[in-house]
Amino acid sequence: MTINETQDEIIEEFEGLTDWMDRYAYIIDLGNTLEPLPENEKTPENLIEGCQSRVWIDAKRGENHEITFDADSDALIVKGIVALLLRVLSGHTPDEILEADLYFIDKIGLKEHLSPTRSNGLVAMVKQIRNYARAFKMLDA
Active-site residues, by number, are: 51
Q: Say which residues have a Cβ less than 8 Å from residue 12's Cβ, sequence separation at least 6.
A: none
Q: 19: which DSSP letter?
A: S
- CA dist., res. 66 & res. 50, Å (int): 26
Q: Which three-class secondary structure state does DSSP give residue 58?
A: strand
- CA dist., res. 109 & res. 20, Å (int): 9
- CA dist., res. 108 & res. 115, Å (int): 15
Angle subtended at Cα 140 by Cα 135 and Cα 141, rounded to the nearest 5 degrees: 95
> Is residue 59 within 8 Å of residue 125, measured between CB atoms?
no
